[in-house]
Amino acid sequence: MCMNNRPFIAIGYMLPFSLSLLSVVWWNGQILFREDATVDDFIDVIEGNRKYMKCIYVYNKIDVVGIDDVDRLSRQPNSIVISCNLKLNLDRLLAKVWEAMGLVRVYTKPQGQQPDFTDPVVLSVDRGGCTVEDFCNLIHRNLISKLMVDGLVKNH
C-alpha cells in the first residue's frame, strides 16, 4: 500500500520478492514505494546504470487512414503524423526534431555587411549551451568581454 492507503497498480505486492535481488548482493530489506512505479522504474533504481533518451513517435502514411485515427495519433505525447508520399507535415517534423534536440541556429553577420542566412552556426543545450555568451566562448574566450550590443560595449 502506498502512503494514502491506495494500492499500487503498476507494481504488484509480490513483484519485489519475485525479482532476483541476489545479483546486487541484497539478502533482505524493505522497499518503500512513494509513487506508482512501473517494473522498469524499479529495475532502473536497482541497477542504477540506465540512461533514457528522448524520442519522437513518427507515424507515416496518414493519407491512407481515416481522419479519426490521424487525430487520435496526433494527440499522443511526443508524436507527429506525416505523409512522405504527399509531403504533409514534414516541416513540423523537422521543427519538432530541432525542439526535442534543443538545437538553435545562430546566423553571423560581419560588421557592415548583410547576414549570411545560408550557413548558420548550430548550438545545442547538450553541447555547450545556447546563449550568446556560449556562442562567443566557442569563437574566442575573450570575445564576450568585447561584445557590442546596440553600439555599446557589454561586459559580463
Range of the domain at 36: 1-51
Q: From CA 107, how far away is CA 52, in angstroms rounded?
A: 32
The pLDDT of residue 16:
53
The pLDDT of residue 5:
56
SS3 assignment, position 23: helix
pLDDT confidence band for 150 (50 / 70 / 90): very low
Q: From CA 23, how far away is CA 44, in angstroms rounded?
A: 14
Domain tally, the chain: 3
Dump pLDDT digits (tens) for 102-130: 888 878 788 888 887 888 888 887 776 67
Q: Are residues 132 and 109 located together in one domain of the fold?
A: yes
Cβ-proximal residues to 135 (8 Å cutoff; 6+ apart), any chain: 106, 121, 123
Q: Are residues 87 and 126 located together in one domain of the fold?
A: no
The pLDDT of residue 90:
94
Q: Are residues 120 and 153 located together in one domain of the fold?
A: yes
Tell me what percent of the residues of the chain surpass a pLDDT of 90: 24
Regarding pTM above 0.95, the answer is no
92 has a pLDDT exceeding 80 = yes
